[in-house]
Amino acid sequence: MNISNRLRDHRNDKRRSHIPFRLNLLFLIVFISFSLLIIRLSYLQIVKGTEFTALVERTETTESSISVPRGLIYDAKGRVMVGNEPKLSIIYTRAMDHSPAKIAGIAKDLAQLITVDIKGLTKRDLKDYWAATHETELQKRTPASFNRLTGSKLYLEQLKLVKDKDILYSDKEKNVIAIFKKMAAAYSLSTVTVKNDGVTNEEVALVNERLSRLDGVNVATDWTRRYPEGNLLRTLLGNVTQESTGLPRDKMKEYLNKGYSLNDRIGNSYIEEQYESVLSGTKKKIINTTSNTQDVVDQKEVYQGKKGDNLVLSIDMNFQKRVEEITEETLRQLPKPLADRAYIVAMNPKNGDLLAVAGKRMAREGEESENGIVDDALGAINSSFGMGSSIKAATVLAAYMDGVITPDKNTITDEAIVFQGSKPKTSVFNRDGGKIPLTDIQALERSSNVYMMRLAMMMGGQSNYEPGGLLDINPTVFDKLRNYYAQFGLGVKTGVDLPMESTGFKGVSRETFYALDFSYGQYDLYTPLQLASYMSTIANDGVRVSPRFVRSIRGTDKNGNLGALETPVAPTVMNHIQCSKAIIEHVQNGLYQVTHGANGTANEFAAFNIPVAGKTGTAEAFYDGPIEAEKGRNVINSTFVGYAPYNNPEIVVAVVLPYQNASGEDVLAKKVALRVFDLYFNKRWDQTGEDTPNPLETPQPNQVNGRGEDNLNPSLTNGSNPSANQTNGQ
């Protein structure tokens, strides 16, 4: 017993002796740990304290921009043709911490105060909203295999998991979704318009009362384009995109690189597009300062922005209206249904000012119209037709430039031309088979087809003609004629200040027989604007000036009206005809004989009080309009182009009346042109019955004459002295 008791006591003593050691070891470890922690904290506070404090207090700056009102478009006398109509709008600026879910919440609150159009919602829009409001559920549905996807690829695959039954929303819910869609389109710190059409005073009041609870929402003033003159020149003035449409896809990268936002409104056609950089202005710039928690701690306006500059057109709207009236009256006289359109272009040959561009067309089935007629001024720029004899002056000058005739040697006999296997080709005035020697002046006066064909033969290397013989000319005559015609603006871009312009249509065959037709305007097709450019070049002593709609760019004064001159738009000289001034004046005399000679095809002008020079044209053509059953039918295009006064030209008038009855008498085009000349020189076209004083009197270069000199004119309005298939716009 004693021995066993002693052994047990020994073991107990041994266990008790280890307890203090373990406690001491534990205390030591704790002590060391706390010491290290204190040392580390001291290091962080003393050594790194300043650095970490700066990190916590760090902020970032981000630049955002806000659009400004678009510039206006005025006529030549300072009257608004395209303006801005101010209107109330509800806007939203997206904060950096606004997630889709948060935006959905704001949209839900805002939807209780305003209503928006829900017609444009798509299935994708409904899915986007469901995904934003059911993030947890969407994550649950997402299979593990999607982990390899990121960004938009992952999101698109997740949207496929949204079921049709998930998006069975009521109209009330769709109102929320439509608001969400517009708000979600904004990127961080950018502003979008939630509603700007039909915003009521009640909606504005309700939103204003709850702005503190609608994070990022505000009330502002927006604008929309208005047209005080209705459809006047509407097709050429162009359009501006809607904010919902934003930047066009095909030019998105280009505009983004220029500082535009995705939802910016831009000019997307014709004058609005051509002068986008002028009309758009410069956006207001704001520097946003955000904390590391993405809260905006400061906003500073660094640039207040600049409203878009204004365009002053070369067109006097009252003159334009009267020319459009003449065009419409003419259209109603044409034989239907084929002759369904009419075009008139009036242009200053010295500076390129377009004084009137009118086009009218009969409305087609289902097409909105006024009295069955629609505006087709664009057709004067982009529709092309065979112009017939109107272009013969270019052929004569081409022959001079090519050296096949000279002032001393230019007589050719007009007689029926017959080659092996061909029918006779004659001039209209010489159908009986006579032989009539003609100079170039007489050929223009009487409109000799044969004279022009013989010129083409000589330019192609065949100087002599034998009845019943072979036509042996070089096909390069096509290239020669086109190169010469291009100097007048025929078959090439005229340089008009529009983003899209037709160059006409070139015949594709190189069969030399067609070169004869080509010489008197019956092969290639040209636009009414090209016809005006061609005659302007001759009237301006061989200097081709590009047509223009815009004469100057002006700012806005403090009262919001047309302001000071910002940029004068100087005339653009495209080229000089490679011909001496003496020969050009010689051909000008031929055009004068057309309207004043005893045998002139338009000698009705001889009785007019202003001397006019010009050329008639009748192109035998095939109908190629919208009536499928009539395509290929024989028709004529009636044309006239001329200028006045003959000794100091102020205006060129081109008239094109396509698709007339082939058996009818071609007299209408010259009568229409005479009405336009009479309107310009003898009639007061202002509504007051008097010429309106021009308030825009800043001198600017506006004239280039045949000697290549710029002349200054203090007025922005000029002239106070009062096969012919169609391409495009059928």
Question: Does residue 520 carry a pLDDT above 70?
Answer: yes
Question: Does residue 584 carry a pLDDT above 90?
Answer: yes
**Residues 6+ away with beta carbon under 8 Å from 42:** none
Compute how many other C-beta atoms are within 10 angstroms of the C-beta atom of residue 277: 12
Question: Does residue 722 carry a pLDDT above 50?
Answer: no
What is the per-residue pLDDT for 568?
87
Is the bond into 645 cis (omega within 30 degrees of 0)? yes
Q: What is the pLDDT of residues 665-699, one digit of tens each?
A: 667 999 999 999 999 999 877 654 444 444 454 44
CB 567 within 8 A of CB 552: yes
How far, in Å, are 345, 353, 399, 506 from residue 536 at the CA level? 11, 11, 19, 22
Q: What's the CA gap between 392 and 398, in Å, rounded?
A: 10
Question: Does residue 598 carry a pLDDT above 70?
Answer: yes
What is the per-residue pLDDT for 298?
52
pTM of the model: 0.80
CATH number for the domain whose boundaries are 317-713: 3.40.710.10
Question: Does residue 272 carry a pLDDT above 70?
Answer: yes
In the structure, what pLDDT confidence band is assigned to residue 725 with cuts at 50, 70 and 90?
very low
Q: What is the mean pLDDT of residues 635-663?
A: 94
Q: What is the pLDDT of residues 467-504, one digit of tens each?
A: 889 999 999 999 999 999 999 999 999 999 999 899 99
What is the per-residue pLDDT for 720?
33
Handedness of CA 302, 102, 160, 194 (dihedral sign): negative
Q: Which residue has the tokens 């207090």?
A: 57
Q: What is the pLDDT of residues 452-464, one digit of tens each?
A: 999 999 999 999 9
What is the per-residue pLDDT for 306?
76
**How much is the mean pLDDT over the chain?**
85
723 is catalytic: no
CB 569 within 8 A of CB 551: yes
Q: What is the pLDDT of residues 230-248, one digit of tens each?
A: 989 998 999 988 776 677 7
Catalytic residue, candidates 389, 427, 502, 536: 389
Question: Does residue 613 carry a pLDDT above 60?
Answer: yes
Question: Does residue 569 carry a pLDDT above 50?
Answer: yes
Within a 13 Å sphere around the CA of 503, how many CA atoms are in the beta-carbon half? Answer: 8
Q: What's the CA gap between 617 and 224, in Å, rounded?
A: 45
Question: Does residue 528 carry a pLDDT above 50?
Answer: yes
224 vs 724, more confident: 224
What is the per-residue pLDDT for 716?
31
Within a 13 Å sphere around the CA of 190, how many CA atoms are in the beta-carbon half? Answer: 17
Q: What is the pLDDT of residues 388-434, one digit of tens each?
A: 999 999 999 999 999 999 999 999 999 999 998 888 999 999 988 79
Of 575, 587, 662, 571, the residue nearest 623 (C-alpha)? 662
Q: What is the pLDDT of residues 315-363, one digit of tens each?
A: 999 999 999 999 999 999 998 889 999 999 999 999 999 999 999 999 9
The strand ranges marked E within 386-508 are 412-414, 436-438
**Residues 6+ away with beta carbon under 8 Å from 511:** none
What is the per-residue pLDDT for 723?
38
- Mean pLDDT lowest for which of 214-228, 499-513, 647-661, 711-725? 711-725
| Angle of helix 392-402 versus helix 476-486 axis, rounded to 10 | 110
Q: Which residue has the tokens 């045949």?
A: 706
What is the per-residue pLDDT for 223?
82
- Mean pLDDT lowest for which of 170-174, 363-367, 471-475, 578-582? 363-367
Q: What is the mean pLDDT of residues 150-175?
A: 91
In the structure, what pLDDT confidence band is assigned to residue 185 with cuts at 50, 70 and 90?
confident
Burial (CB count within 10 angstroms: exposed 0-12, middle 13-18, buried 19+), residue 627: middle
**240-247 contacts: CB < 8 A, separation 24 or more?**
240/70, 240/265, 240/266, 240/267, 240/268, 240/272, 241/265, 241/266, 241/267, 241/268, 243/192, 243/193, 243/196, 244/120, 244/182
Is 20 strand, coil or helix?
A: helix
What is the per-residue pLDDT for 688?
46
Q: What tokens appear for 53 in the block?
A: 């404090």
Domain residue limits, the chain: 2-57, 317-713
What is the per-residue pLDDT for 264?
78
Q: What is the pLDDT of residues 66-103, one digit of tens each?
A: 667 899 999 999 999 999 988 888 888 888 788 999 99
Q: What is the mean pLDDT of residues 551-579?
A: 92
Burial (CB count within 10 angstroms: exposed 0-12, middle 13-18, buried 19+), residue 474: middle
How many helices (H) and strands (E) are present in the chain, helices listed first?
22, 22
CB 385 within 8 A of CB 376: no
Is 214 strand, coil or helix?
A: coil
